Amino acid sequence: MKRLREGLGTLPLGWRAALTFALLLAVSYVLGGHALGGVTMAMIIIPWSPALDRDQLEAAANPMYATQPEVVPWQLYDTQSITTAVNAPAVYFQTINADKTLSNMEGPGQLPDPQYLVVHYVAADFLIAPQSTAVGATTNNAAVDDIENILKTVRGTFEFNMSNKRYGPFSLTMCHATGGTTGSLYGVGTLAAAVSGGVANNGIPGSGGFPFSGALVIPPKIGFDVTVRMGAAPTLPVSPLSLRISLVGALYRRVL
């Protein structure tokens, strides 16, 4: 460990930050991971770090040259709709959306120059509100039904495409939610007219997703997309359903 610290100390501050971030992500896979099917899913751990002196703070806040890069944790996300009884591929990251709660793409289908995104995992969020079911009803909770139908009944998959090169298809069950309500069921109303409500998430919120583990790098000005496909038309009690796909990793960009 001492030799590692000494080696890092000889590098420029920007490279030290990038390497340290990559090492911390690797450690988080081992120490804070969630095992699923033999694959360790990423959970971010924020470690303690020693205090910086004045010179180090000045160097971090004031780049030595205009093109000096910085690296920051990043979530690149886009949202598309899935409609009941329609089997059509949903293609992500192709357009700019004025609603930044649905997409934070800066350009259509590519990253601006000189940004690079090192992808660590792919996550999926089903943006569905809590749904109520009358006691005695013969149907399941609609939120659970929607997600189960896409993941298991029609066997949703995703693939990453860049420069006409395809990665996948991979099962959408590998992509967990980035967050959300963790409660499951509740009851309201009188005994004679009670209803039960429920929320649903894809996997354990915050437990990561499909682990590219830094092996996938998206360069600037190169076309890419994520495509979600299904084996058949879904049957969705709540339709259309918004599905958000996130590419989570480290973004390299200019400081200035």
What Cα–Cα distance (Å) separates residue 202 from each residue in 36, 80, 183? 13, 16, 13
Q: What is the pLDDT of residues 24-63, one digit of tens each?
A: 555 444 444 443 433 334 455 556 667 888 888 887 777 7
Q: What is the pLDDT of residues 111-161, one digit of tens each?
A: 999 999 999 999 999 998 766 666 555 556 677 888 889 999 999 999 999
The overall longest dimension of the chain from CA atoms, in Å, is 73
Q: What is the pLDDT of residues 168-222, one digit of tens each?
A: 999 999 999 888 776 555 555 555 565 666 667 777 767 788 999 999 999 999 9
- % of the chain residues with pLDDT over 90: 45
Decide if 156 contacts 89 (C-beta within 8 A). Answer: no
* Burial (CB count <10 Å: 0-12, 13-18, 19+), residue 1: exposed
